[in-house]
Structure 1
């Protein structure tokens, strides 16, 4: 009975203490107003004769993981059984390196390989180098002087290359997307307010997608990619990434679809729109009426790497070309990417780019290029979104459903960009080993048998998980 009483008393004291802390009762009842200006502790002289030894900082119990050298032998032993898996085919490349500058600790295989979507790491890095993580893309509406017809004036919807411009805001019962999207409904409402303030309620609509140049369908892609809806035609003006509003396939003319959605939203906002939207370049002296801006580039990069968004990456490639070589085509984009990365010291030997997303089977890249790009991202805060955008094994993005049975050690400890085409499997990212040591790694296989794609991914997952499970330091 006595023990029971003591136990209850102790429990009551604990609960009271937690409640006092949780609800700030001490401050509420014991504090009278703000602290006095002289509320700091009063300095007290030490007692006479008291002598204390000087404080000595404790010795480090372990070498910092970033500077601890990796063991090539341990890395080879960890990777060997997985890289020898016949499901990977006859051409397998691998590289493992420390985060610190210096030589790659382990390489396996020679030459280059088809990188597939690991190409997005290169494009995203170049976009951040060219524009910065705070850059935004603006979609504008302008009114053209002297373009009135009858009682209507001509507006031009000007595409600014916003990869995530939406046809409408999310529904009330939908979770807002990340990153937030600008949308043409909001743009139409802003435009309608500006028009009504000027006494105008009737317009004709044109649209301008001339920011990007060259073909919308990359000649280096398979000929059925665009017709079959694998990827949208690339445009500086679109909504919903060029996807069909039915939810199936892609639209043939993304700019026209965006203009039509904007016209419908204008009508809903009380503006009469005569006729159908027509393509036209905005005049230099056109009057600005309204605009919406995208999320910052850093957030866009995070998302496109997480989900491997082909369309968004190709839009960023065009922006790189425009910014670096004043050529917003596929050719200009790849020239801009290679120029920027070469200036940063990235090893581009063996690298050939035809697009930004990695859809082209003509792309070639070495593990050294990807190692250099990842390492560059660890050294520059402005490239941080490249790292934070890497999917986490077993949890997020394109790795959410991987690293399950057979590779649990990698779950949560491997962050990597996937690369997948028929016959191609790759992973490139950062892994933390069992000793807390971060490593850069690249795994590439581009001669996988047609029916072995999933098994090849399992083998690569096993290899990355083996790095997470080992103590790879010397």
Structure 2
């Protein structure tokens, strides 16, 4: 059974709407500049009489001098002589919210009947705590976490990979003066590398590097060197260990998750639109070869696996979105493949290899440093493994640690990446029956496997008090999974509508 959190469209927009006012203003500018150009031609065709002065027209219209209040009110300067105080910098999210004491009795009376819903099965666990204090409600123990596991991988990546890091996919030329030299496509672990350019107008966020652009840049470099024909190799050796995690059910192959590699396009998805290819690196190289031919460079034979020689020279490269945006995206849509790539990047960033084992070692180091209870068992980064076992207190401690970190801590991105109840990401079509007050005020990472549902996030109560929660159930009957999701949403939503202060 697939992790349904990951079934959201890869093209869904998560960025703000474009600024239409700038385009409208530019449209006015181009119109008047055309008029001015015609006036200038007319004035130059005969003797200038002083009746037509483009500079005066520009001044009269205000072009290039002052913003239009109708379309850019924020850019209009205050009247002369008006003394305004400096605009204060807003405090980080959750830092300015109320910190009222929370009543354990009220939380217990609220949650107990909701979590006793038979739809959730016999094995339900939960922890609720204030943003910076001990739990006020605890029940149950460790459970199968599903995709709430991605919170741990995200924290590890943001804590160990330098802020602003972009992963590079490059092409190098092997040494030698052959008429048809070998070039090598080298994977750098870009989880979102695309098979073709993505039109910004499609609303895809974050940006995607693509192999067509890389092929065009490579072709330009080769032509400058007088090369018109090449042999193509590809190198995906950055990551080590099994590409398919042994802790995943064998039924996931080709259907639920791609083999994890440092070189792929479209996250290893099949060009047919269904399932995943068996060798993502080879398909990426073939896609690049086709783009290179289209760019005017002949490619002899089929791409082959090749190592990069020490004296190889770079021809071209493309770079991924920054690590912060990658994390936000994977949390919003619960992206399994991107998460598994980042787990291996954690292994590299902490001094190990690009393997699952080294990634998990680095992850546990981060949890120890931040004082967070580690998962009881963890075999992957995405939560696809049914052998993973996590206590809800671990999820609550993680969110508390992130919310309580310094404003410049890169891990704060996790709060921004949490889906929003009823509005965004994997919660955009949920919480339909939850209390209306929870919509937009409850943010949580979802977890979904067959028989398993979980939520871990933050709910802001009507009086402005944030409550951190983790709700987990892993014995749900398959035939009632959808209403069970609603039941869990209602419990989380009740926290968002709760007046639980003392």
Q: TM-score range by the shorter chain?
A: 0.7 to 0.9
- The change in CA–CA distance for 1:21 and 1:270 in structure 2 (over 3 A counts) is closer
1:335 maps onto 2:366 in alignment: no
Give 1:86-125 correspondences, 5 Å limit: 86-100=118-132, 102-109=133-140, 111-125=141-155
Give the equivalent residue in structure 2 for 1:11: none
CA distance in 2, matches of 1:367, 1:446: 12
Paired residues of 2:99 and 2:466 also in contact (CA < 8 A): no
CA distance in 2, matches of 1:23, 1:137: 38
Per the normalisation by structure 1, the TM-score is: 0.85
How many residue pairs get matched?
Answer: 420
**Aligned-pair Cα RMSD in Å:** 2.3
- The change in CA–CA distance for 1:199 and 1:458 in structure 2 (over 3 A counts) is same
Per the TM alignment, residue 24 of structure 1 is displaced from its structure 2 partner at its CA by 9.8
Listed one character per residue, the Cα deviations across residues 202-234 of structure 1 (whole Å, up to 9, x for unaligned) are 11100000000000110000011013x100000
CA distance in 2, matches of 1:22, 1:258: 48
CA distance in 2, matches of 1:91, 1:125: 27
CA distance in 1, matches of 2:361, 2:174: 35
CA distance in 2, matches of 1:421, 1:407: 25
CA distance in 1, matches of 2:185, 2:69: 57
CA distance in 1, matches of 2:400, 2:360: 21
CA distance in 1, matches of 2:269, 2:82: 63
1:356 maps onto 2:381 in alignment: yes
Give the equivalent residue in structure 1 for 2:112: 80
CA distance in 2, matches of 1:21, 1:206: 57
- The change in CA–CA distance for 1:238 and 1:438 in structure 2 (over 3 A counts) is same
CA distance in 2, matches of 1:65, 1:258: 48
Paired residues of 1:133 and 1:383 also in contact (CA < 8 A): no
Per the normalisation by structure 2, the TM-score is: 0.80
1:137 maps onto 2:167 in alignment: yes
Match of 2:280 among 242, 254, 272: 254
SS at match of 1:94: strand
CA distance in 2, matches of 1:22, 1:65: 34
1:189 maps onto 2:216 in alignment: yes
Per the TM alignment, residue 127 of structure 1 is displaced from its structure 2 partner at its CA by 0.4
Per the TM alignment, residue 284 of structure 1 is displaced from its structure 2 partner at its CA by 2.3
- The change in CA–CA distance for 1:125 and 1:64 in structure 2 (over 3 A counts) is closer
- The change in CA–CA distance for 1:99 and 1:200 in structure 2 (over 3 A counts) is same
Unaligned runs of 5+ in 2: 1-67, 84-94
1:410 maps onto 2:438 in alignment: yes
SS at match of 1:74: helix
Per the TM alignment, residue 422 of structure 1 is displaced from its structure 2 partner at its CA by 0.6
Per the TM alignment, residue 106 of structure 1 is displaced from its structure 2 partner at its CA by 1.4
CA distance in 1, matches of 2:71, 2:217: 45
Match of 1:431 among 459, 468, 473: 459
SS at match of 2:263: coil
- The change in CA–CA distance for 1:271 and 1:450 in structure 2 (over 3 A counts) is same
SS at match of 2:467: strand
Per the TM alignment, residue 199 of structure 1 is displaced from its structure 2 partner at its CA by 1.1
Give 1:18-417 correspondences, 5 Å limit: 22=70, 65-100=97-132, 102-109=133-140, 111-146=141-176, 149=178, 151-171=179-199, 175-227=202-254, 229-348=255-374, 351-378=376-403, 379-380=405-406, 381-417=409-445
Listed one character per residue, the Cα deviations across residues 331-389 of structure 1 (whole Å, up to 9, x for unaligned) are 111111111111111112x5211000000000011111111111122124311221111
Per the TM alignment, residue 22 of structure 1 is displaced from its structure 2 partner at its CA by 4.0
CA distance in 2, matches of 1:160, 1:224: 28
Per the TM alignment, residue 40 of structure 1 is displaced from its structure 2 partner at its CA by 7.7
- The change in CA–CA distance for 1:198 and 1:129 in structure 2 (over 3 A counts) is same
Give the equivalent residue in structure 2 for 1:473: 501
